[in-house]
Amino acid sequence: MKQKQIFLLHFSYWLIFIVNAFISKMVYGKDSFGVLNVTILIANFLGFYVNYFLLAPRFFNPKKFYLMIIGFFIGVFFFVLFRYSIEEMLLPSLMGFRNYAEGTTLGFYFYDNIYYSSLTIFVSTNLWFFQYYFTAEAERIKLIEENKHAQLQALKTQINPHFIFNSLNNIYSLVYQNSDKALPAIEKLSELLRYSTKDLEKDVISLDKEIGYIESLIGLEKLRIKNPEMLVIEKNISYPKINISPMLLVPFVENAFKHGDFREKGFVLKVSDDNKVLHFYLHNYKNQKTKDKASGIGIDNVKKRLEILYPKKHELYIKDLESEFIVDLRIIFPYEND
């Protein structure tokens, strides 16, 4: 809760308190706002803020109700102490009169003032609780966001080494074969690394840039594939500048190239964003000779990021069959992309 809102709550309470005192005077036929009205206002004010700043933070504990009862009566005690000091000690010495009749016992004085102080202590405790709750809630939300950001940064840093490792394996194979495709492959990898190094630091990038990564990656992989025409790519993008987390789609494509069978079958990739719903579909055939137990790192990474970034706003279906791997992902983009 903002400080301005807290101030307005306090101000409203004291305004109502003073207005009520004037109304009471009118109802009971007294014309002036007397000295005793001022003294009880001072006693309420002092009791209110002693409870607000000292007692409520110390005794408020929903799990220990008895502490709250103790805190309430201590608050009443301070109200009584303030009122007694002002009306029964200070007023007689300065103005020659007191509020209660002389000889009034302390027991009666305390009991009588439970009535006058209860509302003040109750409101004071509740206002403190509201401030505490909203402050704690704001800190909790901030902590969640900070944890999300830290987790996303950690997840994103996992992508880059994984991506480099896969690409270097491909280039190593070209170099080993003395292929004239090795140099273009290195150039394309350097382009990809420049983009990824710069954009992985950002929270979001444009959708067309993410797809650009994928197209560059496919261009890099085509250099080692004998039949690149088997890579079927369909792109239908109406909102190229819509925001998306960087490297969110790339791991699926990486995974397809790492474990796919491109001798005779290739793969099918479809990307569209009709009505601002991203649809990413990828179907590839597995290379039965490759059995890499670490193949799930990139996919698991994406699953975690999707849960953090688009909770209840995405659907991810993965079919991991004996000879095929299918990814069907839909993301409903948030309203801030409008």
How far apart are alpha carbons 137 and 139 in whole angstroms?
A: 5
Are 92 and 234 found together in one domain?
Answer: no
Task: Note the pLDDT of residue 8.
Answer: 87
H-run or E-run covering 95: helix 91-95
Are 31 and 131 found together in one domain?
Answer: yes
How far apart are alpha carbons 99 and 84 in whole angstroms?
A: 9
Enter the tokens of residue 14. 């004291």
The C-alpha angle 132, 45, 118, rounded to 5 degrees, equals 75
Task: Note the pLDDT of residue 262.
Answer: 83
Residue 121 lies inside a defined structural domain of this protein:
yes
Are 187 and 325 found together in one domain?
Answer: yes
Are 246 and 316 found together in one domain?
Answer: yes
Pairing mode of beta strands 205-206, 314-320: unpaired
How far apart are alpha carbons 123 and 46 in whole angstroms?
A: 13
Are 199 and 298 found together in one domain?
Answer: yes
Residue 8 lies inside a defined structural domain of this protein:
yes
- Residue with structure tokens 């800190």? 139
One-letter amino acid for residue 273 of the chain: D
- Residue finishing a domain among 112, 139, 166: 139
Segments forming the whole domain that contains residue 271: 179-337
Are 189 and 326 found together in one domain?
Answer: yes
The C-alpha angle 141, 146, 152, rounded to 5 degrees, equals 125
Residue 152 lies inside a defined structural domain of this protein:
no
Residue 160 lies inside a defined structural domain of this protein:
no
DSSP bridge partners of 260: 286
Are 77 and 217 found together in one domain?
Answer: no
Give the residue among 43, 42, 41, 38 at the shortest CA–CA distance from 95: 38
Q: Are 44 and 120 in contact (CB under 8 A)?
A: yes
Give the residue among 122, 128, 88 at the shortest CA–CA distance from 106: 88
CATH number, residue 231 = 3.30.565.10
Residue 146 lies inside a defined structural domain of this protein:
no
Contacts of 116 (CB under 8 A, 6+ apart): 40, 44, 79, 83
How far apart are alpha carbons 204 and 337 in whole angstroms?
A: 11
Task: Note the pLDDT of residue 281.
Answer: 97
Phi/psi region, residue 178 (left: phi>0; alpha: psi -120 to 50; beta: rest), is: left
How far apart are alpha carbons 271 and 269 in whole angstroms?
A: 7
Q: Between helices 106-176 and 207-222, what is the axis angle to 10°?
A: 30
How far apart are alpha carbons 291 and 327 in whole angstroms?
A: 19
- Residue finishing a domain among 83, 108, 139: 139
Contacts of 91 (CB under 8 A, 6+ apart): 35, 39, 97, 98, 99
Q: How is the beta sheet containing 267-272 ordered, strand by strand?
A: 231-236, 267-272, 277-285, 324-332, 314-320
Q: How many domains does the chain have?
A: 2
Pairing mode of beta strands 314-320, 324-332: antiparallel
DSSP bridge partners of 324: 285
pLDDT along the chain (338 residues), means of 10: 79 87 71 72 91 88 81 89 88 84 80 86 90 80 66 58 70 81 81 71 86 85 80 92 88 85 86 94 84 59 86 92 93 69
How far apart are alpha carbons 204 and 245 in whole angstroms?
A: 4
- Residue finishing a domain among 87, 108, 139: 139
The C-alpha angle 147, 148, 154, rounded to 5 degrees, equals 90
Q: Quick one: CA torsion of 296, 297, 298, 301, rounded to 10 degrees?
A: 110
Enter the tokens of residue 306. 């999707």
Are 210 and 80 found together in one domain?
Answer: no
Enter the tokens of residue 178. 């003395």
The neighbour count for residue 73, using CB atoms within 10 Å, is 13
Are 269 and 124 found together in one domain?
Answer: no
